[in-house]
Amino acid sequence: MKILMQDLKGGKTAIEEMPVPPVRRGHCLVRSVCSTVSPGTEKMLLEFGKAGYLGKIMQQPDKFRQLLRKARQEGILSAMEQAKRKLEQAVPLGYSCVGRIADMGEGIEHFSIGDRVVSNGYHAEYNLVPKNLICRIPDPVLDDEAAFAQLGAIALQGIRLLRPEMGERVAVLGLGLIGILATRLLQANGCKVIGMDPSQEAREKAATTGMVCYDNGVFTAEELIQNAFGGIGADAVIIAAATDARLVDEAATLCRKRGRIVLVGVESGHYSRDLFYKKELSFQVSCSYGPGRYDPAYEEGGNDYPLPFVRWTEQRNVEAVLGIMAEGKLPTADLLNASATLDQAVEMFYSDPSRLRWGNVIRYEGSSDLPKKELHRISVPSAPAREETCRIGYIGSGAFSRAVALPALHRAGASLHTLCSSRPEGAGLVRKYGFRQWMSDPMQCIEDPEVDLVCIANRHDRHAALVVAALQAGKQVFVEKPPALNREELEAIREAWQPGLRLVVGYNRRHSRYARQLRDYISGCHGGVHLHYLVHAGYIPADHWIQDPGQGGGRLIGECGHFLDLAIFLNGSSVESFSIRAMGYKGGAAAENFSALLRHNNGNLTALHYICNGPASLPKERITAYFGGKAAAIDNFRRLQTWGIPRAPQFFGHFDKGHERQFRELLDPRSGAFSDNYLEQLFEVSSLSFALAESLRGAGMQSHQK
């Protein structure tokens, strides 16, 4: 299928080919009929791409500060490589799409195949959309009208926060597409609306419904109060524009005492406290379509908010806009500027940012038949010919894959044969790493006879089932941590494994040159080792998918396998018993800050401290080993220091967590890094992480059964 993508580095907009995403539970596959070009968001992305490096920094100063922190922690080269990868990543465009449901996953109750719907979809021939982001279109509403429903919902949510009453005077600052939709919704609500915009074209378009408009670049706020608001001031103001503090101050000046201001656009800078203080003004920022927006449980998980308590959610706001359109109270025909097919859209709309004005619509042509199985796969004929030995099918295209795993595999000389991803960003990865085909269905990738080794690097909750399927298909398997989220999944993997099949988990730290050297120092000592492992893991929001026990497993199970594996590797011994304590732990809440004491079978001790409430500027990891009157420490995998070891070299330099060496050993059939003992260790690491998580509700030293 075709999809419109935006290059962030050079600003180029292009049409890419990608496989149709497979339908999954709680989602509908929608075949597009038309979609609206966002004159705000898409214009911003286009201008960002065309800006130079300095312009990009000025537009996103927060991202630049993150880059500086990474440079301090991992070195300038590592930070620059990350920035380069970010800019090389193209992003899909669009978020308001009209189409017909072509297929549905399990758990869909209120829709049928063939329904005409509006959804949060990209400019693409097909979109896989969660059920809470789809609304059925009433029969009286035309496709072109429905394409404006998402934008109308943004305006409506701002109005709901404003709480206008019939007869109130409401000013709308900014008469772009969302601003005009807001004025028409306010008029339908019985308000006297005054529009303001420096653009004559915008004022003329807004005035077609009888609204009075002013050029707020000519008239002062005091003049507007006298002429437009009867000397009293506006009861309420909606700011529907990308703005600086001056426009917020203007809205405050226009308001009467105890007036209300709602920001629907984007604000930057500081505004005058004095204006708000003396009038006791209310100021609120509207979050896009309404409650549910940016909530993964609502948008991706399909968990609706109960209507008696949250009357207007993201979905119900869109439905309300469609209802108003069906009654003829929200006209949009005059807002339609131009239409084009997807193939024409790049030249007509995206060749110049100034063309992204008003309601441009992209139309889609093609068959209404359901996509066939082969549409979940596309070949890449332009991929260079090469001799392929161990052909890799790589499942996943998330941030870790783009930033770490795929670059390391490429440097290791891997034969990257098949990319499996339903994300549009996969297009750039296919080109960059020379994949020969692109699939969207993981099972097709596993069953493909041309794939010898399956690398699994998607979300944690999908790892175990894919590992089992790949092993049963007789494939070699590499899976990112964790391989399983519970004991049942781990046992299923153990049963599916067959002698002769290599099963490797992405515990990369044991492959770092710093870890190998530290183990050499430890293995030659007598009298025991005390290992101190300090992890500054950093803050992750509570609604992030990794915090969800069902999706990510929580931070202990989802991430800490790395540190448990390295402790076992460095000590050369399994864990016999442990104790663990978490800070502020309550009931079944996820443990984020904890300390664990591990006693190994050989008598060594490991103290693991996992800290999430420290500053982001701290280096992430420090591992210190004390043994026989000596000590050695790995400092964030950039340096290895020693004390009391004669003539020991001090290793330092390139940031090395072992990813590249891990993949080189994975691709080498003669490597002894993944022996039967290794397999037992990876099962031990998972079962140990489960035991630690379970033990947080208990207390004391416990025996650990592998």
pLDDT, tens digit, for every residue of 176-185? 999 999 999 9
Specify whether the CB–CB gap between 169 and 195 falls below 8 A: no
Question: What pLDDT score was predicted for residue 655?
Answer: 85
The answer on pLDDT for 57 being more than 60 is no
The separation between the first and the last C-alpha atoms of the chain, rounded to the nearest angstrom, is 48
Distance separating alpha carbons of residues 422 and 611, to the nearest angstrom: 34
Q: Name the segment(s) of the chain with CATH classification 3.90.180.10.
A: 2-148+332-363
What's residue 587's pLDDT? 45
Strand, coil or helix: what is 264? coil
Which residues are within 8 A (CB) of 257 and not within 5 positions of it... i.e. 6 or more apart? 233, 279, 280
CATH topology of domain 2-148+332-363: Quinone Oxidoreductase; Chain A, domain 1 (3.90.180)
Calculate mean pLDDT across residues 298-326: 95
CATH number of 154-285: 3.40.50.720
Where would I find the beta strands (DSSP E) of 313-462?
336-341, 359-363, 377-379, 391-395, 415-420, 437-439, 453-456
Given this model, what pLDDT does residue 640 score? 92
Domain with CATH 3.40.50.720 in the chain: 154-285, 379-505
Whole-number pLDDT of residue 365: 79
Q: Angle at which helices 513-523 and 561-571 pack, to 10 degrees?
A: 40
Cβ atoms < 10 Å from Cβ of 7: 19
Residue 481 has pLDDT above 60, yes or no: yes
Contact 454, 465 (CB under 8 A): no
At 645 the pLDDT is 86
Residue 47 to residue 353: CA distance in whole angstroms? 7
> Pick from 383, 385, 380, 345: which is nearest to 362 by CA?
345
Q: Report CA Rg, the chain.
A: 29
Q: Give the range among 221-235, 268-282, 691-705 with minimum mean pLDDT.
A: 691-705
Residue count of the chain: 706
Q: Which two tokens stand for residue 180?
A: 């005009």
In which residue ranges of the chain is CATH 3.30.360.10 found? Answer: 509-703
Minimum mean pLDDT range among 42-46, 195-199, 378-382, 397-401: 42-46
Strand 437-439 and strand 377-379: the pairing is antiparallel
Q: Give me the CATH topology for the region 379-505.
A: Rossmann fold (3.40.50)
**Confidence grade of residue 527 (pLDDT, cut at 50, 70, 90):** confident
Yes or no: is domain 509-703 CATH 3.30.360.10? yes
- Residue 59: what pLDDT? 56
The Cα 149–Cα 36 span in angstroms is 10
Lowest mean pLDDT among 239-243, 385-389, 418-422, 666-670: 385-389
Q: Is 441 left (phi over 0), alpha (psi -120 to 50) or beta?
A: beta
Q: Is 22 left (phi over 0), alpha (psi -120 to 50) or beta?
A: beta
Mean pLDDT of 470-492: 96
- The type of residue at 353 is P
